[in-house]
Chains A and B, each alone.
Chain A
Amino acid sequence: MNLAQVLNGLALGALLMILSSGLALIYGLRGVMNFSHGALYMLGAYLAYEVTSQGLSFWLALILAPLGLAIVGAALELGFFRRLQRRSHIEVGLVTFGIALVIDRLIVIVWGDNTLPVRAPKAVDGTTNVFGTDYPTYRLLMIVVAIAMAAALVLWLRNSRVGLHIRAASHDTETSGILGINVDRVSLVVVMLGGALAGLAGTLAAPYFSVSPGMGQSILITVLIVVVVGGIGSVGGAMAAALLLGLVQIMGNVWLPSVAVLVPYALLIVVLLWRPTGLAGKRV
């Protein structure tokens, strides 16, 4: 495996890292496996397409799409998660699955079902020499943005008052409420952040994969595997699992191309046999 292939693995891992950290945060706090997360990611990609097709800058899309998805996240929290918080996980999971189907259909109605191109900005459209290997600059940008996002998220969770409240409420909602934490408000912040991260991942993915209906569904399964492998609800575990899966997936593509599609599932089985609660979970 050469350096370019390792970097491809990191670029894929970077996307998965941004997506899975939002999903893990929402699961940690609301206990909801949000099956609409892939659709939010896809909506982010379409918003990026819309912004750039209007002649506006891709950099602006990188701000507007996460903002738009944060608002969608707020609507999900206020309209569904908060109202359904005392219902069973399976019921709420089914609702999020329905939300995904609605978003998928709305996207086809608005933008059609053709694949749409989004060009990377000129400044990052070429290649960069990395230790003697010419590598697409845009993919390096994806890796840098993901690492910066991960560092910022971890610092915020560890050092801010809201971060402390999120970590507490993710562990024990009832005690947090008794201590005076407004868990509903904390949850709103988390679901908006999760939506914004899905929007960021979608925008970054747009020039990398192009934009098409179904892009959300295809990545959702992989992201769910990342969250389970990382240890359900653990943001740090999801980040580590995302990078691991990105690298393992690319290794599979290179060495076992005919069965590469099975790589995420194989990783899931191996990790769960070794550590049933995932990489960051406690041993049972």
Chain B
Amino acid sequence: MTPLLEIDDIYASYGGALVLDGVSLSVDEGETVGLIGRNGAGKSTTLLSIYGVPTVRGEIRVSGKALGKRQYEPASRGVSLVPQGKRIYPNLTVEENIMLGRASGRKGAWTVARLKELFPNLARASGRPGNQLSGGEQQMLAIARALMAEPQVLLLDEPTEGLAPVIIDELIDALRVIQEAGTALVLVEQHIRMVQQLATRFVALGKGRVVTQGAVGDLETRAVQQLVAL
């Protein structure tokens, strides 16, 4: 079976420093993969490389077809990103932020009403500008916006960063609903319990390379924990 998303031997550098050194990773339809590693290991860069930030050498394929160089292309091919730091538009209302997801041009089952059901906080904050939301609400908004693009695979970059435990629980519940809808997830996380609760497989990065990978159950072993320094 052709993987949904394939990152094939990619290299990337920032200002001359090599940050991805031959990373390969694949995601099948409907599966959840945890992408873990220390700070600076190259996790976020791996996700951003799909969008050409920074420019990469190597090939990235969606359903077996290579992605072009245009930054807007992954969204139209069913790959959506919830970026680190949320990147909500502070000048736009909650509803306008959500509607930006439709820029992908894809059609499907996610609607504003359904997203408000998934995230009731957003329903209550509908007309407010993005900069008047709490950190948790902004994270929910970033996920809702990405879902509005009708992704086949949703990339989440540190979605629990800076959130209270109770909000993290709400987020995990929402991500389970998204999994049940058949969407594949790539979860970049420091919060390893979240990876263990949601993912079936993990890929660990260190210094821009894949250092180990396997079933999520292997994360319990001392050897793997030492390797990825959790």
The 23 sampled A-B contact pairs (Cβ below 8 Å) are: A164-B99, A164-B100, A165-B100, A167-B91, A168-B92, A171-B90, A171-B91, A172-B87, A172-B89, A176-B100, A177-B71, A177-B72, A178-B71, A178-B72, A179-B72, A179-B75, A179-B100, A179-B145, A180-B76, A180-B105, A180-B149, A182-B70, A183-B72
Is B83 an interface position by the 8 A CB rule?
A: yes
Q: A164-B99, A177-B71 are in contact. List 12 more A-B contacts (CB 8 A).
A: A161-B102, A164-B100, A167-B91, A171-B90, A174-B53, A177-B72, A178-B72, A179-B104, A180-B72, A180-B74, A180-B76, A183-B71
Instruction: Convert B84-125 into 0s and 1s, putting 1 for each residue whose CB lies closer than 8 angstroms to a CB of A.
Output: 000101111000100111111100000000000000000000
Q: Assess whether A272 is interfacial by the CB under 8 Å rule.
A: no
Given A164-B96, A165-B103, A181:B72 Cβ within 8 A: yes
Separation of A179 and B99 alpha carbons in the complex (Å): 10
- Chain A 230-255, CB within 8 Å of chain B: the 1/0 string? 00000000000000000000000000
Q: How far is the CA of A101 from the CA of B37 in the complex (A)?
A: 55
A contact residues vs B (CB 8 Å cutoff): 161, 164-165, 167-168, 171-172, 174-183
Report the separation of the CA atoms of residues A174 and B71 in the bound assembly, to the nearest whole angstrom: 8
**Given A175-B87, A180-B105, A168 and B100 touching (CB < 8 A)?**
yes
Complexed CA–CA distance, A161 and B101 (Å):
11
B81 at the interface (CB under 8 A from A): yes
Q: Which one of A174, A181, A182, A183 lies within 8 Å of B100 (CB-CB)? A: A181
B70 / chain A contacts, CB cutoff of 8 Å? 182
Interface centre among A165, A168, A176, A179 (most CB of B within 10 A): A179
B202 at the interface (CB under 8 A from A): no
Give the distance to chain A from B113, nearest Cβ to Cβ, in Å. 19
The distance in angstroms between the C-alpha atoms of A168 and B91, with both chains bound, is 8
Taking beta carbons and an 8 Å cutoff, which residues of B are in contact with A? Answer: 51, 53, 70-72, 74-76, 81, 83, 87, 89-92, 96, 99-105, 145, 149
Q: Are A177 and B87 in contact (CB under 8 A)?
A: no
Residues of A within 8 A of B91 (CB): 167, 171
Question: CB-CB < 8 A to B83: which residues of A?
Answer: 175, 178
Closest B residue to A182 using CB positions: B72
In the bound assembly, the distance between CA atoms of A177 and B149 in angstroms comes to 13
CA distance A165 to B102 in the complex (A): 10
Chain B residues near A174 (CB-CB < 8 A):
53, 71
Nearest CB on B from A83, distance (A): 15
In the complex, how many angstroms separate the beta carbon of A284 from the nearest chain B beta carbon? 16
Residue contact B51 to A179, C-beta cutoff 8 Å: no
For A168, list chain B residues within 8 Å (CB): 89, 92, 100
Give the most central of A168, A178, A180: most B CB within 10 Å.
A178
- What residues of chain B lie closer than 8 Å to A176, measured between beta carbons? 100, 103
Query: Do B104 and A180 touch across chains, with their CB atoms under 8 A apart?
Result: yes
Nearest CB in chain A: distance from B85 CB, A:
10
For A167, the chain B residues whose CB sits under 8 A away are 89, 91-92, 96
- A174 to B81: give the CA distance in the assembly, Å: 12
* Interface pair B92/A179, CB less than 8 Å apart: no
Closest to B99 in A: A164
Please name the 3 residue pairs, one residue from A and one from B, whose CB atoms are nearest each other, closest first. Answer: A180-B75, A177-B71, A180-B104
CB distance from A74 to the nearest CB of B (A): 20
Measured between beta carbons, the chain A residues less than 8 angstroms from B105 are: 180
Across the interface, do A178 and B92 meet the contact criterion of CB distance under 8 Å?
Answer: no
Residues of B within 8 Å of A164, CB to CB, are 92, 96, 99-100
Measured between beta carbons, the chain A residues less than 8 angstroms from B145 are: 179
Q: Is the CB of B81 within 8 A of A178?
A: yes
**Contact of A179 with B103 in the complex, beta carbons under 8 Å:** yes
